[in-house]
Chains A and B, each alone.
Chain A
Amino acid sequence: MSVVLEQTVSEPKGRVEDRRLLTGTGRFVDDLKMEGQAYMGIVRSMYAHARIKRIDLSTLRSSPDFIAALTGEDLLKEGVATVSQNQWPPQKPAKRYHLAVGKVRFVGEPVAAILVRRKIALEDLIEQVGVDYEPLPAVTTIEESKKGTTLVFEDWRDNVSQSADQKWGKAEDAIASAPNVIRAKLGIARQESVPMEPHSVLTRYDRGRDLYEVFATVQSVHGLREQLASELHVPEEKFHVKVMDMGGGFGSKGAQSYPEPLLACLFSRRTGLPVKWTATRTEEFLEAATGRDEYCDIAVACDKEGRLVALKANLECDAGVTGTQNHMSQLSMWTMLGGYRIPNVDVQLRVYATNKMPMGPVRGAGAPEGTYFIERAMTIMAEKIGIDPLELRRRNLAPRPGQWGAGGPAPGMELIDALVKESRYQELLKWKSEVNSRFARQGPSKSNVVAGLGVSFRSGGGADSGDWSEGSGESESGSGQWPTSEGEGAGDWRQSEAEGNPSPSWVDSRGEEATPTLDFTSEYARVTLDKSGRATVYTGSSPHGQGEETSFAQLASEELGTPLGDVSVVWGDTALVPAGIGTFGSRSAATGGSAVVDACRKIKSQLFGKVATVTGVDAKFLSIRKGRFSSTTQTQTPLPTLAEVMEMMGVTGVSAESYFRLSSIEYSGGAHLCVITLDPELGAVRVVKYLVVEDCGRMINKTIVEGQLHGGVLHAIGGSLFEKLAYDDQGNLLTSTMMDYCIPTAVDSPEVEVFHRGSPSTATLDGVKGVGESGTNVGYAAVMNAINDALAQVRPGARIDVAPATPEAISAAIATVS
């Protein structure tokens, strides 16, 4: 039942956005300058937990460079709200301000903001601010947080920030009577997104018009506008938020509420000056949202035939002082239960507050963790039973993600079969055993390595989108039902073609309808087509590497028959694009792309309607290409051109809007295979082969899709081999530069081979399934399973279940097994 996934849209050689990025004419926020701009700096806490006794600004004030300063007390006087916190899933409100009030709760927390005249003076003057602290005991681990001897937030009665459960059947009983049970303590350390461009903001307050102009490094301009409006108690329309080029995000520039845009707005309002701030890399490590830091105590049971009978797990997350976004561990829980039939399940989730920087999404946002937990457990189980790890997965695939019971072919089977074929699995196993028998004969020496092979799988589909954009967050205890996001009448309001009131020069299909709301499963687009045949796409998505300037132009080009070069894509500007959600969560090509297609189809419907009226040809037989209409049936009269039709309509262009809503986001599924060699003396791992079989539906642009997978996979490789935010027992961050927090270089990276299988999504208008995070989601388990496979060759029983498997961890794992 394999569907050949051909590109149906012509893919250009090179992206539309490339030229400016290759010639140094892109515009990143820090590249922008405004006349008379002043520079903002942040004074950050040196303690993980302390009372602020006094902030001394007197030396700073005597500097000729000094313009203004803000402290937490000033924010209270200005009536600024506490840091925004999402309430899905419900989390205990953490009362925290963008500048610490009374107490600091993590190293790097902003204590004061200063505004100075010259950029070069900034760092010196930050040092001139004297802060007296009274250190308090800091909660730096989940264990300490559980004890609750010290509370991170004094108005809480313990340090638990959120909890959830997922239960069906009788997991405990099933485990007790099962012939095969494995247990493991799995985890992924605290890690960071590390986009190459640090956060930056430039604001200008226009007193005459009472308007804030804000350029910021954000994955959603509309999200930042909403946050600024609610935290500053200023109406949304007073903010004009913009982003042009952005140097990556990976979650860290998503919907977290960071202090700097708000502080820059306050400074600009107070002084009338444009205000610029750009993070140093150290500030980036101290403040940008961190992720993972999840640990899973898991027990999995199988029957004699290797069929899963139960899963029981305690899932814990260290969320630091808890952030704006907190859906990650919930997503881990769902992802963990996503791909296989498991009749008895009992998962408990607890999220703990500690004195560390707040948690936020990092590429995959919980899905890499959840996939890692189940996929590492499956491989441990396969070893225990003594069957091939892919075979164990085959026996347990759910017919559809999150569903079990009734049979039917599992779509995942196709991916696993393709992985075996494309990787020449049997040959690889043979090669591996040759390498390992050589090692066994010769014994360890510096030139000698062992080999390991790891696989990992994740079913695609919409299951683990769950209902997390607006869901209840309640578990369905005992039902075995997956939470779905089939909202009541989802998408209904847009099903019928809206009859708009023609405006003098543009026909607009918005008409008199109320503005619909947008959320995770929906996106905004507006498309205009002028009489010369040029099209402009306005999208609420916000590309920063994903290439939507190209792929959305391809979609409009395909729908409207307009040459690619005649389509412009506009985004990242709240004045030009009235609504939007942004780019994160592997959702843009699915939601944003569908909205573009929807808007284009509405335009065609208007135009074809007119042509039909004039010529008598049924609209369903019409198509448009390069400004000319054609019909699949015989026509007696020649069809008019686009320009002629618009003339008849009395307009110079036609536009249509879409707030397209999917019933659920459909995600790409994948099967990964990783082959490594390991030098036991050095603890050094080398990834020698990496292979991905992916089902991401139809590809608008295959090159872009594969680029997303390459980068996503390397994110997982880095996260499995060496990425770790390390703290000392006082809560000091020990990894605050790129020397201490290592991201992979070209030398650490393998060639990644990508193969495509599966079928176009039926949930999206453009046939795509979200792929941006897929490589990361599936990658961790493949790498960690490969490392553990190799470790077992060195010493049976040696195991690393918490990523990253650093050389230090590998040496320790080998040494601790006697």
Chain B
Amino acid sequence: MSGKNVRAKADGLTEVSMKINGRAYRGEVEPRTLLVYFLRDELNLTGTHVGCDTGHCGACTVVMDGKAVKSCMVLAVRAKGAEILTVEGLAHDDRLHPVQVAFTENHGLQCGFCTPGLLLSTLTLLQRNPHPTEEEIRRGIEGNLCRCTGYVNVVRSIRAAADSMAKQEVRGRS
């Protein structure tokens, strides 16, 4: 790997830098370090969770350069120079993001472990498709497993988030 954001060092560690939630981060990792462990262990951004370590559960979902990715399937060095959004970056100045508001108002979470991943998948789903049908919502979060909610209130939350974001969009324009 080469490039200004990845530099191999003599002790086998590699320097990586990336922008997370709008802030620049730099760290030294073993090249095999996964992005999720870089976030959790090196940067203490523990809102991103590990539920399966095989890329199935989606609890570790973050947004990388505008796309939802499972951060247990991405090497930290692969995220060189990337812009990452984690759950910690969703709310602004204590004001919850409309997706977060929709999840609490519609009981779209119970234990909360899968929730960070679901919030970020929802965000990218609604950016791609602001008015999804129920089927599209279900397909959109297929990669995020939840054992508590039966997805019933998750789907309701996403529908509510779509509505409130669409209203905001309208207000923003007028």
CA distance A554 to B67 in the complex (A): 40
| Residues of B close to A278: CB separation below 8 A | 50
| Residues of B close to A120: CB separation below 8 A | 30, 32-33, 37
Is B96 located at the chain interface by the 8 A CB criterion?
yes
| Residues of A close to B44: CB separation below 8 A | 33
B side interface size, CB within 8 A: 58
Is A130 located at the chain interface by the 8 A CB criterion?
no
Taken residue by residue from 238 to 255, chain A's Cβ proximity to chain B (1 for < 8 Å, 0 otherwise) reads as 000000011110100000
Instruction: List A residues 9-31 near B (Cβ within 8 Å).
Output: 13-15, 17-28, 30-31
* A21 interface neighbour in B115, B143, B144, Cβ under 8 Å: B115
Taken residue by residue from 84 to 126, chain B's Cβ proximity to chain A (1 for < 8 Å, 0 otherwise) reads as 0011101100001000100111010111111110010000000
- Determine if A196 and B146 form an interchain contact, defined as CB atoms under 8 angstroms apart: yes
Chain B, residue nearest A710 (CB):
B150
Is B14 located at the chain interface by the 8 A CB criterion?
no
- Determine if B47 and A738 form an interchain contact, defined as CB atoms under 8 angstroms apart: no
Return B9 CB to nearest CB of chain A, in Å.
Answer: 16
| Residues of B close to A713: CB separation below 8 A | 150
CA distance A26 to B103 in the complex (A): 16
| Residues of B close to A18: CB separation below 8 A | 103-104, 109, 112
- Determine if A21 and B109 form an interchain contact, defined as CB atoms under 8 angstroms apart: yes
Instruction: List B residues 125-157 near A (Cβ within 8 Å).
Output: 137-139, 141-155
- Determine if B46 and A24 form an interchain contact, defined as CB atoms under 8 angstroms apart: yes
- Determine if A245 and B112 form an interchain contact, defined as CB atoms under 8 angstroms apart: yes
Return B174 CB to nearest CB of chain A, in Å.
Answer: 27
* A195 interface neighbour in B50, B56, B144, B147, Cβ under 8 Å: B147
| Residues of B close to A703: CB separation below 8 A | 107
- Determine if B119 and A22 form an interchain contact, defined as CB atoms under 8 angstroms apart: yes
- Determine if B113 and A746 form an interchain contact, defined as CB atoms under 8 angstroms apart: no
A738 in contact with B52 given A22-B100, A23-B96, A707-B148 (CB within 8 Å): yes
* B142 interface neighbour in A25, A281, A745, Cβ under 8 Å: A745
- Determine if A31 and B148 form an interchain contact, defined as CB atoms under 8 angstroms apart: no
| Residues of B close to A28: CB separation below 8 A | 46, 49, 113
CA distance A714 to B153 in the complex (A): 13
| Residues of A close to B152: CB separation below 8 A | 707, 710, 749, 751-752
A14 in contact with B153 given A22-B115, A738-B56, A743-B145 (CB within 8 Å): no
Taken residue by residue from 47 to 72, chain B's Cβ proximity to chain A (1 for < 8 Å, 0 otherwise) reads as 11111111011010000000000000
Is B40 located at the chain interface by the 8 A CB criterion?
yes
| Residues of A close to B148: CB separation below 8 A | 196, 248, 545, 707, 711
CA distance A595 to B132 in the complex (A): 45
- Determine if A247 and B49 form an interchain contact, defined as CB atoms under 8 angstroms apart: yes
- Determine if B41 and A196 form an interchain contact, defined as CB atoms under 8 angstroms apart: no
A544 in contact with B142 given A22-B104, A752-B152 (CB within 8 Å): no
| Residues of B close to A248: CB separation below 8 A | 110-111, 113, 147-148
Is B82 located at the chain interface by the 8 A CB criterion?
no
| Residues of A close to B100: CB separation below 8 A | 22-23
* A280 interface neighbour in B53, B57, B59, B113, Cβ under 8 Å: B53
- Determine if A247 and B112 form an interchain contact, defined as CB atoms under 8 angstroms apart: yes
Return B1 CB to nearest CB of chain A, in Å.
Answer: 18
Return A369 CB to nearest CB of chain B, in Å.
Answer: 19
| Residues of B close to A715: CB separation below 8 A | 147
CA distance A197 to B86 in the complex (A): 18
Instruction: List A residues 709-733 near B (Cβ within 8 Å).
Output: 710-715
Return A670 CB to nearest CB of chain B, in Å.
Answer: 15
Is A546 located at the chain interface by the 8 A CB criterion?
yes
- Determine if B46 and A31 form an interchain contact, defined as CB atoms under 8 angstroms apart: yes
CA distance A707 to B54 in the complex (A): 28
Return A370 CB to nearest CB of chain B, in Å.
Answer: 22
- Determine if A196 and B107 form an interchain contact, defined as CB atoms under 8 angstroms apart: no
| Residues of A close to B88: CB separation below 8 A | 23-25
| Residues of A close to B116: CB separation below 8 A | 24
Is A63 located at the chain interface by the 8 A CB criterion?
no
Return B145 CB to nearest CB of chain A, in Å.
Answer: 6
Is B74 located at the chain interface by the 8 A CB criterion?
no
- Determine if A747 and B56 form an interchain contact, defined as CB atoms under 8 angstroms apart: no
- Determine if A711 and B145 form an interchain contact, defined as CB atoms under 8 angstroms apart: no
CA distance A31 to B45 in the complex (A): 9
CA distance A278 to B52 in the complex (A): 11
| Residues of B close to A198: CB separation below 8 A | 50-51
| Residues of B close to A250: CB separation below 8 A | 147
- Determine if A749 and B150 form an interchain contact, defined as CB atoms under 8 angstroms apart: yes
Chain A, residue nearest B146 (CB):
A196
| Residues of B close to A15: CB separation below 8 A | 104, 107
Chain A, residue nearest B117 (CB):
A196
- Determine if B112 and A747 form an interchain contact, defined as CB atoms under 8 angstroms apart: no
A196 in contact with B59 given A18-B109, A250-B147, A746-B155 (CB within 8 Å): yes
CA distance A254 to B116 in the complex (A): 25
Is A737 located at the chain interface by the 8 A CB criterion?
yes
CA distance A751 to B153 in the complex (A): 9
Return A14 CB to nearest CB of chain B, in Å.
Answer: 4
Return B57 CB to nearest CB of chain A, in Å.
Answer: 6
Return B159 CB to nearest CB of chain A, in Å.
Answer: 12
Return A182 CB to nearest CB of chain B, in Å.
Answer: 32
| Residues of B close to A194: CB separation below 8 A | 147
Chain A, residue nearest B41 (CB):
A119
- Determine if A749 and B151 form an interchain contact, defined as CB atoms under 8 angstroms apart: yes
| Residues of A close to B56: CB separation below 8 A | 737-739
CA distance A99 to B41 in the complex (A): 29
* B138 interface neighbour in A21, A707, A746, Cβ under 8 Å: A746
Chain A, residue nearest B118 (CB):
A746
CA distance A30 to B44 in the complex (A): 11
CA distance A27 to B107 in the complex (A): 20
- Determine if A196 and B111 form an interchain contact, defined as CB atoms under 8 angstroms apart: yes
Residues on A close to B: CB < 8 A?
A: 13-15, 17-28, 30-31, 33, 119-120, 194-198, 245-248, 250, 278, 280-281, 544-547, 703-704, 706-707, 710-715, 737-739, 743-747, 749, 751-752, 775
| 10 A-B pairs in the complex with CB atoms less than 8 angstroms apart | A13-B105, A22-B100, A23-B96, A23-B100, A28-B46, A195-B113, A196-B59, A247-B112, A704-B107, A746-B138
Lowest 3 A-B CB distances belong to which pairs? Answer: A24-B47, A247-B113, A21-B112
Extra inter-chain contacts (20) besides given A23-B87, A33-B44, A248-B111, CB under 8 Å: A17-B112, A22-B103, A24-B88, A28-B113, A119-B37, A195-B111, A245-B113, A281-B53, A281-B54, A281-B57, A545-B110, A710-B150, A710-B151, A711-B149, A738-B57, A739-B56, A743-B145, A745-B142, A746-B139, A751-B155
